[in-house]
Structure 1
Amino acid sequence: MSEAKIKELRDDVDELNELLKQAKRKKVQDVLTLEIRKLETEMVKLKESENTTPMEVTHTPATSANSSQSKSKRYQIKLNGYGWDQSDKYIKVFVTLKNVQTLSKDQVYCKLTERSMELHVDNLDNKDYLLVINKLLEPINIEESHWKQKTDMVVVFLAKSNPNVKWSHMTEIEKKFEDQRNSRFKTDDMGKKDPQDSIMSLMKNMYETGDDEMKRMISKAWYEGQHKKPTDTLDL
């Protein structure tokens, strides 16, 4: 029964990801992203009974001239989608990758700092996968963090430096974006103003007041938007 449910959830996630690729409005993208993360979290909870062994955070993969040469011939795929949940002690990050459980421990590893995480999955079907999350909302305890391989999934347990503190968002950037958006929408007269104009005005304001990371993300989003909707204009 659980296997059928997991398959159904995975199919739902795949379809939502296809819809996310087609979505153009930020609010629609946010709703789809949140729903994807909820479903991925539900999949993980169904798999919690599986017996897996956590990896040591201090572990680094073995390297050699031959392995480096082999790695250089593989494609690296940067991951953006992930689910997350939290307990009093941990932030749990869920990353779905088919057949990841077949890899050795040397091929699945994390690089952690107090405010960032990188998940590396090497040579899965001749591809390397990388998930980078920078500017975590709160600091983490590197020594107490770890990760596990499960069927078709990696779960990263980021230990909170301040246990029992509830995170409202995964990163500072996500929180800043939502706070500024909510603040701007409260002051705008949405009945007299085109919602698209409000979003564009918000992005401009965030670009002018944001840090380098915020400006980089907005510039990328705007560049992609220009190619999809060449008639839009925004002077950054």
Structure 2
Amino acid sequence: MSELENLQLDLAEVQQVLGTLKRKANIEYLNNRIKYLENSIKILTPQKVEQPEKQQEASPIDSDTRLYQGITKYAWDQEGNKIKIIISLDGIGQLPKENIISSFSTHSVDVKILNYKGINQRFGIKKTFDDLKDRECSIKTTNNSLIVNLIKKENKHWDQLAYKEKLINTDSSKVDKEDPQASLMNMMKEMYQNGDDEMKRTIAQAWSKSQQEKGFK
């Protein structure tokens, strides 16, 4: 998977997490991260040379910058070694087959939907809960749904679709139960220590504002 595709999946994932946050400082931090990812995507996106004489014939796909809107609403179920993901998209069955591009690996899923009602959409799992038989995975469309069929490498129950890596080695008994945001703030500290200069500057600004809101300087 290319650097551009990884950035696009990161953007979709961060946008999904943003909707779950309530604290102003954390929301501001993720908004800054989204801007950084969007700028990086624009830099890496190949620029197409427009030809005025053919401008009227260009299709929406040809002129699109290939920025994607992440798909976060879907249903899924599993039976044995099979997983079915159902994404409701009104009229998707009328979209040309070449506008739906799928890519599977042993631990990732990437489905791109080009020019669906004028918008490029994308469903992705950067790292699945467990390994897949990628050559047996597939997609199909109905009139109003896109169905992603995954085949597990081993016939084990999946608790969720995406693998959740433990970012911080913390004793759960020491977590501040009075402040449910404590773990998130600890994660931001670790990201600061391991991040680049841009990330450190963004986190420092968000942290400073958070402390000011609590009455500290």
TM category, shorter: 0.5 to 0.7
Q: Distance in 2 between matches of 1:22 and 1:91?
A: 26
The answer to whether residue 87 in structure 2 is matched with residue 121 in structure 1 is no
- Residue 185 of structure 1 deviates from its aligned partner by 3.9
Q: Distance in 2 between matches of 1:158 and 1:68?
A: 35
CA contact (8 A) 2:111 2:124 kept: yes
| Counterpart secondary structure, 1:132 | strand
CA gap of 1:196–1:149, structure 2 versus 1, over 3 A, is same
Query: Which of 174, 180, 185 pairs up with 1:187?
Result: 174
CA gap of 1:127–1:121, structure 2 versus 1, over 3 A, is same
Tell me the percent identity.
Answer: 21
Q: Distance in 1 between matches of 2:145 and 2:124?
A: 16
| Counterpart secondary structure, 1:176 | coil
TM-score normalised per structure 1: 0.52
- 2:72 aligns with 81
- 1:167 aligns with 158
How many residue pairs match? The answer is 158
- 1:200 aligns with 185
Q: Distance in 1 between matches of 2:143 and 2:95?
A: 11
| Counterpart secondary structure, 2:160 | coil
CA contact (8 A) 2:82 2:152 kept: yes
CA contact (8 A) 2:104 2:135 kept: no
Query: Which of 142, 145, 152 pairs up with 1:150?
Result: 142
- 2:4 aligns with none
Unaligned runs of 5+ in 2: 1-17, 24-53, 212-217
RMSD: 3.8
Q: Distance in 2 between matches of 1:92 and 1:109?
A: 17
CA contact (8 A) 2:108 2:125 kept: yes
- Residue 23 of structure 1 deviates from its aligned partner by 4.5
Q: Distance in 2 between matches of 1:138 and 1:91?
A: 12
